[in-house]
Amino acid sequence: MSEHTQDTQDTQGSSANQATPGSDNSGSSANQATQGSDNNSGNVNQASQGSGNNGSGSANQNNPIETLDPKLAAQVAVELGLTPEEYENVVATQGRVPSLTELYIYSLMWSEHCSYKHSKKQLRMFSSEGDHVLQGPGENAGVISVGDGWAVAFKMESHNHPSAIEPFEGAATGVGGIIRDIFTMGARPIACLDSLRFGTLDKPRQRYLFDGAVAGISSYGNCLGVPTVGGEVYFEETYEGNCLINAMAIGLMREEELTRAVGSGPGNFVVLIGSSTGRDGIGGASVLASQEFDEAAENKRPAVQVGDPFEEKLLIEVCLELLKRGIFVALGDLGAAGLTSSASEMASRGGVGIDIDVRAVVQREENMQPFEIMVSESQERMLAVVRPEDYAAVAEACARWGVACSHIGLITDTGRFVVRDSALPAGFEVVADMPAEMLANSAPEYDPEMKRPEYLDAVQTIDLSFVHTTELATLRGDEQNYAAALTALLASPNICSRAWIWRQYDHQVQNNTVVLPGADAAVLRIGDTGRGEMSIRGIAASTDCNGRYCYLDPYVGAQIALAEGMRNLACVGAKPAAITDCLNFGNPEKPEVFYTFHKAISGLSTACKHYNIPVISGNVSFYNESFGNAIYPTPAIGIVGTIDDISCVTTAAFKQAGDTIILVGETLDEMGGSEYLKLHFGMVAGAVPALDLDLERDVQDCVCDAVRAGLLSSAHDCSEGGFAVALAESCIAGNLGAEIALDDDLPPAASLFAETQSRIVVSLAEEKVETFLDLLAERRVPYSVLGEVGGERLIIKDKLDVPLNDAPDGSFAGISSVYQESLEAQVSQR
């Protein structure tokens, strides 16, 4: 079983062109081969009679298959992305030369995206064990129990390459795809989060990509009525030619409603529900294929699918209704490789065969070839298995919702995946006949070569002490200087308010959003709004990854991604339950890239095991490169935690003047990889902040327990920009100033802006301070009592003093408006 499912387009395309890097010709030569076979199929009688019937060993012995000319087949195989060895493997598996349809199907099923041939061994490092895990990797999404019989399904997936070409539709269909993975499991989608990466906003194209992707997510998610409640975005040169659009979806169900895509019951009907099938995404298989993006990327736009969120909304309703009525024996969505992967995985999981007639598939274009119907990636389609006597009920429900459905095949007991075209003459209908199990699970597994990239030593060993001695920061105690440095950080696109983004997302529909976007983590009430029970339980969710850290140290960087996600949950009072991941890397065939992949997986899996957090689903996106340069390793994680009582959550905002401000944790002189270093010195370098896994846990436990006990008024973790930014954000969110003094002996830039891990800024009523400090002392967690909330300025004694709000006469700007308005100002520049 594949441990992760793979990026819908990214790697699929990539693998299809592995043998012909960067070439647009591959598309056309594949077409030539296809056209050749068009002619063949025009003469299908003669051709089939003459060849092919050389013992497929199937239940369809009597149906001769029109196989390809051996020479042509080998050539087409390579064009489709199979290596010569893989092609030999296909011939061995089939016991003969494959047909064109078979070749297409093998090339897709054995591509990186379906087979994980490069990543599978590495992914085995992850543990998916846990008492509360109801479904681990291998299904459309992972599922955990969250208490009182409620279960939550979630998964994160990338849609990078389509979005880099057509950001609106690429991002929109990314949301559509991940949502289908969720309701396929029987869960009603209740939330989306997005992890986005672009180049810097001074480039017009990056603004276009960013604006378009946000609009696409907004358009699709809002129409579905699924709130987009959180996420993250970074702007960094490395993503300029290859933006990252990772979408995470969460669904809610009762435990007993869990459904799996396991085909069973020979004689049962195979039913295709939803949109008609066109040629969309077929070109995508080859043209989105380049390992790297280049000047020709723009020409690939037509290969990006167009989403129809209205159709998907209807699909959600009709599928969830039929699931609830117990009418589906199995349900799967059509994602990458379309009908091919959906049907073959369903058959192999159930150990059954499947027999499909492509002519029964509702087509939106004329003269579609069988292989086109089988590999089409038309959106908004679901594959269901139903008992014959229930088909009428399916047809009735679909008609009522205005959704098309068609009976396209049968479950068989042969273990064969048979594709037929009933338009062909009787006796010659079968165009593909393959062992389902081998097809789905026998792809090769590779051990790609690894080599420690040379840049690592160079960047890690840079001495950053100059940061404290150059002019920018020489004057210790120069308030104006650090005030300006803080203000610039708050205006940085990587730190400033994301309200411009989430204002475009419906983040409240379903009435369960307890903590709005912009907080450390999103908090959702668990409840079946309108249809059923509401509870006082909640879940919290966050997506995290600092690509800079992963570039400087993939092992620790990936661990920090997890630690920060967990810390975000702790700040709202949630206990981590499980994670999903979206592993975005460059070309795995480059030993340096694969080394970073290996290190990141090692780091992440080690930390997950340390904290006993299972990895229940995920996605690998390779070949994120442009013009030969890989992106920063970006193993984004999506984490979900549980809350027993939603009335006991807290947020980052300061709530009450007079509250005591405490820094939980301890600041070190760790400027490596910091936003301060990038913004003021233009450098991404140094050693990443150290991560002490045990200290991190202690810090989180103390804060989470204190939130749950109602001790804290606010909690906010220190991340990009360090302590000063965290403090400023709590001031801005609560519209309350603060006056504090720092008691460390660090250079001011470190004490203000170092990104040391395991730190949380909290505020609490004076009478609760002693109890909280006892809690910290018990776990031996370092802390500093810094000062108190209040006033209209943020004052850090001897270091900086800035106004929170603008002067009424406009004579000066406060940090609040700078923070809140910066992103829009930068996106709107023309």
Partner 1 sequence: MAACNFGVVVFPGSNCEQDVLYALRFLGHEATPVWHQETNLDSYDALVLPGGFSYGDYLRCGAVARFSPVMEALIRYAKAGRPVLGICNGFQILTEAQLLPGALIRNAKLKFICENAPVRVEKSVCKWLDLAPGTVLNVPINHGEGNFICDEPTLDALNSGEQVVLRYCEPAGAPVANATTGAVQAANATTGTVQVVNKAVQAANATTGVAQASSRVAQASSRVAQAAAGELGGFATNGSLDDIAGICNKAGNVFGLMPHPERVVDGVSGGTDGAPFFSAIISYAREVAGK
Catalytic annotation, residues: 113, 159
Instruction: Decide whether 9 or 222 has the Cβ nearer to partner 1.
Output: 222
Sheet of strand 405-412: strand arrangement: 328-333, 381-386, 269-274, 405-412, 353-357, 416-420, 430-435
Choosing from 90, 483, 526, 630, the residue that interacts with partner 1 (CB under 8 A) is 483
User: Quick one: tokens of 238?
Assistant: 């490395």
- Answer yes or no whether residue 613 interacts with partner 1 by CB under 8 A: no
Which of these, 182, 22, 34, lies nearest to 100 by C-alpha position? 34
- Determine the interface stretch with partner 1 among 366-374, 459-467, 487-495, 665-673 (rule: CB under 8 A): 487-495
Q: Which CB atom, from 169 or from 355, has the smaller least distance to partner 1?
A: 169
Cβ within 8 Å of residue 410, ≥6 positions away: 266, 267, 268, 269, 270, 354, 355
822 scored as a contact of partner 1 (CB under 8 A): yes
How many C-alpha atoms does 647 have within 13 Å on its Cβ side?
2
Q: Does 468 bind partner 1 (CB under 8 A)?
A: no
Number of residues that bind partner 1 (CB under 8 A): 63
Among 161, 279, 507, 590, which residue sits at the site for partner 1 (rule: CB under 8 A)?
A: 507
Q: Which is nearer to partner 1, 319 or 329 (CB)?
A: 319
Residues numbered 303-362 forming contacts with partner 1, rule: CB under 8 A: 308-311, 313-314
Of the candidates 502, 551, 594, 597, which one interacts with partner 1 according to CB under 8 A? 502
Whole-number minimum distance, CB 500 to partner 1, in Å? 9
Q: How many CB atoms lie within 10 A of CB 4?
A: 23
Single out the residue of 367, 357, 366, 429 nearest to residue 44, CA to CA. Answer: 429
Residue list 620-649, contact with partner 1 (CB under 8 A): 646
- What's the min distance (Å) between Cβ of 134 and partner 1? 25
Would you count residue 673 as binding partner 1 (CB under 8 A)?
Answer: no
Do the Cβ atoms of 803 and 479 come closer than 8 Å?
Answer: no
Residue 734 CB, shortest distance to partner 1, in Å, is: 16
Q: Which stretch binds partner 1 (CB under 8 A): 223-231, 419-427, 443-451, 705-713?
A: 223-231
- Tell me if residue 80 falls in helix, strand or coil: coil
Q: Which two tokens stand for residue 303?
A: 């290969």
Is residue 828 within the footprint of partner 1 (CB under 8 A)?
yes
Q: Which is nearer to partner 1, 187 or 431 (CB)?
A: 187
Contact region with partner 1 (CB under 8 A), list: 111-119, 268-276, 328-336, 821-829: 821-829
In order, the DSSP letters of 15-59 are: HHTTTSTT-SHHHHHHHHHHHHHHHHHHTHHHHHHHS--S---ST
Which span sits near partner 1 by CB under 8 A: 159-167, 450-458, 498-506, 625-633? 498-506
Nearer to partner 1, 391 or 681 (CB): 681
Strands, DSSP E only, in 327-404?
Answer: 328-333, 353-357, 381-386
Give the closest residue to 132 by CA, choosing from 161, 152, 117: 152
With 0-12 / 13-18 / 19 or more C-beta atoms within 10 angstroms meaning exposed / middle / buried, residue 363 is: middle
Angstrom distance (rounded) from CA 571 to CA 640: 13
Residue 472 makes contact with partner 1 by CB under 8 A: yes
User: Judged by CB under 8 A, does residue 404 bind partner 1?
Assistant: no
**Shortest Å distance, C-beta 70 to partner 1:** 49
**Least distance CB 223 / partner 1 (angstroms):** 4
Which listed range, 19-27, 152-160, 526-534, 546-554, lies at the site for partner 1 (CB under 8 A)?
A: 526-534
CB of 406 to partner 1, least distance (A): 20
Query: Which is closer to partner 1, CB of 82 or CB of 201?
Result: 201
Concatenated DSSP letters of 304-327: S----HHHHHHHHHHHHHHHHTT-
The stretch among 171-179, 482-490, 733-741, 787-795 that binds partner 1 (CB under 8 A) is 482-490
Q: Which is closer to partner 1, CB of 336 or CB of 802? A: 802
Closer by beta carbon to partner 1, 229 or else 261:
229
Residue 235 bridge partners (DSSP): 198
Q: Is 584 helix (H, G, I), strand (E, B) or coil?
A: strand
DSSP string computed for 132-165: TEEE-BTBSSEEEEEETTEEEEEEEEE-HHHHHH
Is 514 a binder of partner 1 (CB under 8 A)? yes
- List the interface residues with partner 1, window 532-551 (CB under 8 A): 534
Query: Is 469 near partner 1 (CB under 8 A)?
Result: no
Question: H-helix or E-strand containing 639?
Answer: strand 634-643
In this chain, which of 110, 198, 417, 505 binds partner 1, going by CB under 8 A? 505
Nearest Cα to Cα of residue 425 among 97, 63, 168, 141: 63
The residues in 242-281 that bind partner 1, with binding defined as CB under 8 A, are none
3-state secondary structure 722-789: HHHHHHHHHHHHHCCCEEECCCCCCCHHHHHHCCCCCCEEEEECHHHHHHHHHHHHHCCCCEEEEEEE
Q: Are 172 and 220 in contact (CB under 8 A)?
A: yes
Q: Give dist(CA 373, CA 102) in Å, integer.
A: 13
Residue 319 Cβ, how far from partner 1 at the closest point, in Å?
A: 14
Q: How far is the CB of 501 from partner 1 (least distance, A)?
A: 10
Applying the rule CB under 8 A, the residues between 553 and 592 that interact with partner 1 are none
Q: Which stretch binds partner 1 (CB under 8 A): 134-142, 218-226, 255-263, 652-660?
A: 218-226
Nearer to partner 1, 93 or 200 (CB): 200
DSSP-assigned beta bridge partners for residue 760:
664, 717
| 531 contributes a contact to partner 1 by CB under 8 A | yes
Q: Is residue 775 close enough to count as binding partner 1 by CB under 8 A?
A: no
Stretch that binds partner 1, among 130-138, 264-272, 380-388, 817-825 (CB under 8 A): 817-825
Structure tokens of 22?
């960067």
Closest by CA to 321, choosing from 409, 376, 210, 399, is 399
475 makes contact with partner 1 (CB under 8 A): no
Shorter beta-carbon distance to partner 1: residue 250 or 562: 250
The pair of structure tokens assigned to 491 is 């205006």
Is 784 a binding residue for partner 1 by CB under 8 A? The answer is no
Cβ nearer to partner 1, comparing 362 with 516 = 516
Q: Nearest approach, Cβ of 528 to partner 1 (angstroms)?
A: 9
Residue burial 750-773, b: 16+ Cβ < 10 Å; e: rest: bbbbbbbbbbbbbbbeeebeeebe
Is residue 241 within 8 A of residue 184, CB to CB? The reply is: no
| Amino acid sitting at position 689 | P
Residues binding partner 1 (CB under 8 A) = 201-202, 215, 218-219, 222-225, 308-311, 313-314, 401-402, 471-472, 483-485, 487-488, 490-491, 502-514, 516, 525, 529-531, 534, 646, 679-681, 806, 810, 812-813, 817-818, 821-822, 824-826, 828-830
